[in-house]
Structure 1
Amino acid sequence: MIVFLARDGAQARLSVQGGIATQAATDPQDWAKMVAMLQAGGTFAVVSSKDSLTFDMPALPDLACN
């Protein structure tokens, strides 16, 4: 499992199978939260049990992943 953590406290949990997180294996609400984070941009972290990364990204309002 990986978790997207936004600066405002929003969290999105994605299931990982074979090293890949897919929309089909993820709760639809969590997938929508992750997409919203990416569309809004800003600072967020991606955390797993083994590692974590922090991103500071521009907004991606046209991202179509739903």
Structure 2
Amino acid sequence: MPRGVRKQYKMHKGCFALEYARGWIPLMLPFGFADAIISTMDYISVYDTVRATGWEMINNLFIGKI
């Protein structure tokens, strides 16, 4: 979607939604963590997210430098 355009949708039973975001991902991580920790209390998903994101960020630092 173009910048500044918003779209609202209603979720029905069996619906699947994918979120789209722009920007530097490390700066957006705290918002996702806050939601997972405070509202859903889904600590296993937070751990998996931190592990996978950290691994990818570290690997991306060294691509093309080795």
Q: Normalization by structure 2: what TM-score?
A: 0.29
Q: Is the helix fraction higher in 1 or 2?
A: 2
Larger-gyration structure (1/2): 2
